[in-house]
Amino acid sequence: MGDEFGRAVRTHREAAGRTMRDMGRRLGICHTLVRRTELGQEPPYSDRVLHEFCNALALSDSERRRLFILRIHGLGKLDVSGLSSADVEKLVELRDALTNANGSVFPGVRT
C-alpha cells in the first residue's frame, strides 16, 4: 500500500524522538494505526492527519511536499516515478492551489 510513505513517516517520527503512542495521541488516532501505517499495512494518512503530523514534527516545506507526494503515490492516485523534480514541484503547487481551507482538494469533501 504505502510502504515508502510508511518508511518516511517512521524515519521522521524516530528522528524527532517521538513514540508511536505519542504520535497517535497528537494526531487523534490509535497508536496501532501509526504502527500499521509505518509498516505499509494501512493506507497512508488522510490529508488532515498528515498536515497535523507535519506540524507536530515541524517538518520543512520540502519534507512536507515529499510526504504528500509519497501519500498520493501510495494511494495509487499518481505515479510520479518518471517525472522530473521540477514537474513534481509543479504538481504540488497545483495541488496546493486547488486545496481549499479545510485541507480538501474537493470543496465539501474531507479526505
Range scoring the smallest mean pLDDT among 18-22, 61-65, 102-106: 102-106
Number of other residues whose CB lies within 10 A of the CB of residue 27? 21
CATH architecture of 3-98: Orthogonal Bundle (1.10)
CA distance 5 to 37: 8
At 5-50, the pLDDT tens digits run: 888 999 999 999 999 999 999 989 999 999 988 898 887 778 888 8
**What are the sequence ranges of the domains in the chain?**
3-98
Q: b vs e for 28-50, b when ≥16 Cβ sit within 10 Å of the residue's Cβ?
A: ebeeebbbbbbebebebbbbebb
- Degrees, nearest 5: CA angle 102-97-65: 85
| Res. 64: pLDDT tops 70 | yes
